[in-house]
Amino acid sequence: MVSLGQGITAFLPTKTAPLLGPFSGDTFGWGTAVLSTASPLRVTQIGIYDVAGDGLASAHEFALWSPGTRLGDWNQFYSGVVPAGTGQPFVDGYRFVDIIPFVLQPGQGFLFGTRYSQSDPDASLTPVDGVFSSQLFQYSAGGTGVGAELAPPDRPFCTGFELCQRLYPVNFRFETVPEPMSALFLTIASGVLVWLRGRRNVTAIRVSSCYCLVSGSECLRRFHNK
């Protein structure tokens, strides 16, 4: 079993529905954007929904896209595979794999999706509703992408006369990125703690508005010689 690092699952499903429709090899997924007033996020893992929690029936390719320079354009910047079976960590209904982490700045977003065939058992149910684990980001787009290869899932997914659905067959895990000053403070604080641990036998005694940062006996000797 591959261990899962620290992080927070972005989407927590509360409702599932059959992934029905005249599709074959299409891409399904969604997108998110970090709120302009939020802290940056570091995306660390991507997951595929495991219907029964007993392992994925097949391996699933996935890809991530960032917005292009023109409205409606998307640029793929990462792709990978979640293997079949139970070898990957199972968290909050999804099987996750590590990716090369990337940081989303406030106001930035991305699309991500995976492919299903019509006969894929993993497509028997997929999350269609749930809650986001953080108020730092929001749902921005999603649905399906048509094509023989992974395509940006930026088209609404509608089946017959039913209402168009949001689909969450893929998920991500993230960490918040400390603000620069917070990170600097933590670095300094850590350094001070390390320094203090290395000087446990040092005694500080105030003498005439000064401190003796020497051994206890030496500091007392100097104090009495004042």
Q: How distant, in Å, are the alpha carbons of 35, 40, 87 from that of 178?
A: 16, 8, 32
Residues 104-135: b if buried by 16+ CB within 10 A, e if exposed: beeebbbbbbbbbeeebebbebbbbebeeebe
CB of 39 within 8 A of CB of 120?
no
Of 203, 195, 197, 199, the closest CA to residue 221 belongs to: 203
pLDDT of res. 204: 36
Domain range summary for the chain, segments of one domain joined by + = 8-176, 181-224
Alpha helices by DSSP H, listed for the chain, are 180-197, 216-224
Reading the chain (226 residues) residue by residue, the pLDDT tens digits are 444 556 899 999 999 988 766 566 789 999 998 998 888 999 999 999 999 999 999 999 999 999 988 878 899 999 999 999 999 999 999 999 999 999 999 998 899 999 987 778 888 889 999 999 988 888 888 888 887 789 999 888 876 656 678 889 999 999 988 766 444 434 444 454 444 455 544 343 333 333 333 334 444 344 344 4
What secondary structure letter does DSSP report for 223? Answer: H
Please provide residue 196's backbone torsions phi and psi, each rounded to the nearest 5 degrees.
-65, -40
Cα(190)–Cα(99) distance, rounded to whole angstroms?
28
* DSSP per-residue codes, 157-170: B--TTSPPB---SE
What secondary structure letter does DSSP report for 121? Answer: G
Cα(76)–Cα(111) distance, rounded to whole angstroms?
9
CATH number assigned to the domain covering 8-176: 2.60.120.820
Cα(138)–Cα(108) distance, rounded to whole angstroms?
11
What secondary structure letter does DSSP report for 36? Answer: T
Q: The tokens of 113 are what?
A: 């999706």
